[in-house]
């Protein structure tokens, strides 16, 4: 399977496609960027965010960075033009931003960015969501995640991939006590929990890149934690 993936990478590379990443300053977004650079399947990678990011290393020299005001995204519509593939890892928490701020970031910013990407020519969209996302949920976090999934699907991308990982195993730079406790507990059992409750961000990033190369029959696909873990173990470097 690794050899097949290597062939898919080479074929994809020859198509000379470009992509953008939203949320590259976060742990998963940063890992996704690293994976994309290592596998070198895009001719151009653009980071779209609220601030310029600093990187060390020659592999980052060809990156394009677009700084936008998420409260005025229409003013930055040009940043979303001309990309074949979009990756959205944007998100915050209710604890950090409050309920209203959480909805604004995880729904409004995410949806508006997808709308601008679609208008700008993007045909293939990847959304990092969450295990349990459900627009009918009584829990705000899961409800918002499920609602934005559905709203983006309604935009009609040629291909739309939704990733619903469990607890992300990573030492975050910012403090999220509940997730920290879960990571400490689940991390010790990651070998058995990686397909049900938790998953390393490296595996999520690998899965998102590998899935980009595939051609599923359906326009919209939802990858639950187990599917992500399985796909994230396959690569063709």
Q: What is the DSSP string of 116-175?
A: HHHHTT--EEEEE--TT--TT-SSHHHHHHHHHHHHHHTT--SEEEEEE-SEEES--SS-
Domain ranges of the chain: 1-232
Report the distance separating Cα 41 and Cα 141, nearest Å: 33
- Other C-beta atoms closer than 10 Å to the C-beta of 16 total 10
45 beta partners: 19
Sequential pLDDT tens for the chain (237 residues)? 666 999 999 999 999 999 999 999 999 999 999 999 999 999 999 999 999 999 988 889 889 999 999 999 999 999 999 999 999 999 998 888 899 999 999 999 999 999 999 999 999 999 999 999 999 999 999 999 999 999 999 999 999 999 999 999 986 544 455 555 555 554 544 444 455 689 999 999 999 999 999 999 899 999 999 999 999 986 554
Residue range 1-232, CATH number: 3.40.50.720
Rounded to the nearest angstrom, the gap between the alpha carbon of residue 140 and the centroid of all alpha carbons in its chain is: 20
Q: Which of 112, 135, 141, 143 is catalytic?
A: 141
CA torsion, ordered 55, 231, 39, 106, to nearest 10 deg = -30
What pTM did the predictor assign? 0.89
141 an active-site residue?
A: yes
Q: Is 237 a catalytic residue?
A: no
Q: Exactly one of 87, 109, 125, 145 is catalytic; which is it? A: 145
Length of the chain, please? Answer: 237
Q: Helices 94-103 and 140-153 meet at what angle, rounded to 10?
A: 40
């Amino acid at each position: 399977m690794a050899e097949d993936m290597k062939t898919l990478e080479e074929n994809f590379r020859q198509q000379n496609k470009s992509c953008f990443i939203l949320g590259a300053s976060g742990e998963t977004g940063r890992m996704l960027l690293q994976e994309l650079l290592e596998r070198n399947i895009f001719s151009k990678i653009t980071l779209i965010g609220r601030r310029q990011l600093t990187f060390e290393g020659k592999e980052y020299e060809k990156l394009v960075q677009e700084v936008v005001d998420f409260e005025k995204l229409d003013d930055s519509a040009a940043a979303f033009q001309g990309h074949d593939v979009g990756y959205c890892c944007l998100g915050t928490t209710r604890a950090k931003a409050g309920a209203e701020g959480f909805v604004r970031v995880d729904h409004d910013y995410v949806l508006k960015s997808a709308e601008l990407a679609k208008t700008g020519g993007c045909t293939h969209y990847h959304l990092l969501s969450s295990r349990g996302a459900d627009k009918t949920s009584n829990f705000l976090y899961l409800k918002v995640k499920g609602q934005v999934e559905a709203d983006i699907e309604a935009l009609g991308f040629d291909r739309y991939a939704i990733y619903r990982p469990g607890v992300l195993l990573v030492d975050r730079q910012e403090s999220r006590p509940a997730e920290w406790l879960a990571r400490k507990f689940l991390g010790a059992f990651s070998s058995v929990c990686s397909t049900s409750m938790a998953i390393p961000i490296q595996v999520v990033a690998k899965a998102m890149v590998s899935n980009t190369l595939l051609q599923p029959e359906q326009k919209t696909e939802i990858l639950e934690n187990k599917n992500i873990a399985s796909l994230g173990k396959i690569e063709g470097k």
